[in-house]
Amino acid sequence: MGRIAALVPAAGYSSRMGLFKPLLPLTFSLVVEKPIKALGAAGIEDIFVITGHKAFLLEPVLEYRGIKIIYNPNYDQGMYSSIQAGVKALPEDTEAFFLLPADYPLVSSVVIEEMLNEYRRQPHQVLYPTFKGVRGHPPLISTELSSYIMQSEAPGGLKGLLEVVGTDYAEIEVSEDGILQDLDTEDDYQNIIRNHTALAPYPTRAECELMWQKYETPRPVILHSEQVSRVACMLCEHLNSRGFLLHTALVQACSLLHDIAKKEKEHAAKGQQIVTDMGYEKAGEIIGAHMDLPKEHLNLIDEYSVLYLADKLVQGKKIVSLEERMKERSKRYGHDDSALNSVHERLGKARKVQKNLEEILGIPLNELLSELTRGRL
């Protein structure tokens, strides 16, 4: 029997999620690492991850794990192009391959092992796992069908193609519904967090937008918050590509709501209370710390310090350097020594966070901000 390989497509835009799915955290792992670990634990050695969108962030994670990488330059044409890139790169002696997209993080090694045993007992062109009669991922596909896959995309994508040419198929019923649970939307991610991880819950973007309406958030504050979110999420993605497990979705929510009480005195504390009353205690704590970073987070790179820094890097809706922010603050509070001292102290903390971050990333933050401003990140 020839070798059994695995293809893990991870090249898409994550457009329905709104955040880059492969680098989102789950318990002790990033999303993209979950299927890799399951396949490896089941004895699959030839694991190929197909990259595309934000490959420069994803590939360091894969290289650290020694995973084979296939870059798909045509990732903007959809998943089928990534499948074709993967099939084309399979070793010649590959007999069959699992197709397990990166956004199916709950597939376990037990399922992979059961499928391997069934295939070795009775090979078929396609072996599908099912849960209560519903087909899920990953199918195990014979390379007998590779030539068909490499032809132009059939109506209905790979599923439609396999229904036409994969007439020699079998199904194996498994006891885990993880084969059906993909991360397509933010609601999907929320459900997995609640049911399968210890990560803090957070308000979705849709909930944040409703909160803006409820509290009649001024348009300039919304634009500022959205820009802070862009900066903060960019920082989380870069840090997660370097081995961190920052809760990017939580940071996005905190960024969008950090000024929810901007019209109030002590707006950070008031915002913390609002979000805590919604049932999001951790998010409330982070929002409460966005004006003056607590000492215990100053030397850490965590969700608190990332939001704190991102907020200082956005003036209105414009991304600026800390030096530019200092000039603006000094001009505004130049005749108020107490306020100016507070500005110096808070921006000093931001500089400390920025220095720590730059040492980790190995690149000046201003370069990343410049790329983000030009829409390249």
Listed by start position, the domains of the chain span 3-180, 200-373
Q: Is the Cβ–Cβ distance between 64 and 243 less than 8 Å?
A: yes
Q: Which CATH number is 3-180 given?
A: 3.90.550.10
Q: What share of the chain is helix, strand, coil (3-state, %, to 5)?
A: 55, 15, 35
281: confidence class by pLDDT, cuts 50, 70, 90 = very high
End-to-end CA distance of the chain: 44
Q: How far apart are CA 53 and CA 377, in angstroms?
A: 10
Q: Is the Cβ–Cβ distance between 224 and 259 less than 8 Å?
A: yes
Q: Is the Cβ–Cβ distance between 343 and 224 less than 8 Å?
A: no
Own/partner long-range contacts of 285-288 (Cβ < 8 Å, ≥24 apart) = 286/250, 286/251, 286/254, 287/254, 287/257, 287/258, 287/260
Q: Does 340 score more than 90 pLDDT?
A: no
Cβ-in-10-Å burial (0-12, 13-18, 19+) of 251 comes to buried
Q: Does 181 score more than 80 pLDDT?
A: yes
Average pLDDT for 307-319:
96
104: confidence class by pLDDT, cuts 50, 70, 90 = very high
Give the pLDDT score at 46. 97
Q: Does domain 200-373 have CATH number 1.10.3470?
A: no
Q: Does 164 score more than 90 pLDDT?
A: no
332: confidence class by pLDDT, cuts 50, 70, 90 = confident
pTM of the model: 0.92
Q: Does 339 score more than 90 pLDDT?
A: no
Q: Which helix (H) or strand (E) holds 343?
A: helix 337-361
Give the pLDDT score at 243. 94
Q: Does 234 score more than 80 pLDDT?
A: yes
Q: How far apart are CA 197 and CA 194, in angstroms?
A: 6
Please identify which residue in the block is written with the tokens 């000094």. Answer: 330
263 vs 266, 276, 315, CA distance in Å? Answer: 9, 18, 17
Among 2-16, 154-168, 301-315, which is the least confidently predicted range? 154-168
Q: Does 376 score more than 80 pLDDT?
A: no
25-68: per-residue pLDDT in tens? 998 899 999 999 999 999 999 999 999 999 999 999 999 999 99
